Amino acid sequence: MIIVIDGPAGSGKSSTARAIADKLDIEYLDSGALYRTATLIYLEANRDKEAFFILLNQKKISFYYEDQKFHVAIDGESVTDKIRTTEVTKAVSEVAALPRVRSFVNNLMRDVVLEGVYVAEGRDLGTAVFPDAELKFFMSADLEERAKRRLKERKEKNPGLSLKEVKQNIAERDLKDSKRQADPLKKAADAIELDTTNLTFEQQVDKICSMISEELK
């Protein structure tokens, strides 16, 4: 069974999905981390697309969820922290827009959810990757609130980061994600929309957990 949570950057998808996985004792799948991993390989290839796709097919990407953290490795070496750098963040939309990358990541995700119960979060899971998902949610929040949340997440590891920079980055990401030709960010017709701007973290987690628990009965 697969439950998907889509939405724009900073809407709370990742933290909410992790909390849901912990609370309901199900698996968590972070699609954004997989696109960031592909982006790291792209940067390793010095942004040369031909070299990048050769590397992407040569590398073995593995991942698992443990201790409230989604861990990713390339050829057995952890890149969990490396994929969260500002350099990767700035390039991920460009890489994620490439149809061959989307196909690659989609296949990684589809293969892993063949058994068990998973909650996954991303931007096009309910429309492109898992159109037949048992439950679909679309989380949203206003730009200012999303920027504040993202800054809080990253300030410790990026002390020079400013709210203005984060806000600009998210706004640019929103535009790229919604305008891209391959699987743009959009709400699935049958998704349940949840605006989290004025909700506490506990409230949004409880709302979604309640609906998932009913589906699992």
58 CB neighbour count, 10 Å cutoff: 9
Q: Report the alpha-carbon distance of residue 180 to residue 183 in Å, rounded.
A: 7
Domain that holds residue 123: 2-198
**Helical ranges in the chain per DSSP H:** 13-24, 31-44, 49-58, 86-96, 99-112, 143-154, 163-179, 201-216
208 within domain boundaries? no
CA-to-CA dists, residue 193 to 18, 99, 136, 187, 217, angstroms: 19, 27, 9, 8, 22
> How high is the mean pLDDT of the chain?
90
Kindly state the percentage of the chain with pLDDT values over 90. Answer: 60
Confidence of residue 167 (pLDDT cuts 50, 70, 90): very high
Q: What is the CATH number of the domain that holds 107?
A: 3.40.50.300
β-strands 61-66, 27-30 pairing: unpaired
pLDDT digits (tens, 9 = 90+) for 57-78: 999 999 999 888 899 999 999 9
* Least confident stretch, 124-128, 173-177, 180-184: 180-184
Confidence of residue 103 (pLDDT cuts 50, 70, 90): very high
217 within domain boundaries? no
Q: Is the pLDDT of residue 105 over 90?
A: yes
Q: Is the pLDDT of residue 153 over 90?
A: no
Q: Is the pLDDT of residue 180 over 90?
A: no
207 within domain boundaries? no
Confidence of residue 214 (pLDDT cuts 50, 70, 90): confident
Domain count, the chain: 1
Q: Is the pLDDT of residue 217 over 80?
A: no
Q: Report the alpha-carbon distance of residue 61 to residue 72 in Å, rounded.
A: 7
Q: Is the pLDDT of residue 182 over 80?
A: no
81 CB neighbour count, 10 Å cutoff: 9
206 within domain boundaries? no
Supply the pLDDT for residue 60. 96
Q: Is the pLDDT of residue 184 over 80?
A: no
215 within domain boundaries? no
pTM attached to this predicted model: 0.75
Contact 3, 113 (CB under 8 A): no
Long-range contacts of 67-73 (CB under 8 A, 24+ apart): 68/18, 68/22, 69/18, 70/18, 70/28, 70/29, 70/30, 70/33, 72/33, 72/34, 72/36, 72/37
Q: How far is CA 217 from the centre of its chain?
A: 27
Please, what's the largest Cα pairwise distance for the chain?
A: 49
Q: Report the alpha-carbon distance of residue 31 to residue 206 in Å, rounded.
A: 22
90 within domain boundaries? yes
Coil, helix or strand at residue 133: coil
Contact 4, 137 (CB under 8 A): yes
* Least confident stretch, 34-48, 101-115, 165-179: 165-179
144 within domain boundaries? yes
213 within domain boundaries? no
Supply the pLDDT for residue 35. 95
* Least confident stretch, 85-89, 142-146, 178-182, 196-200: 178-182
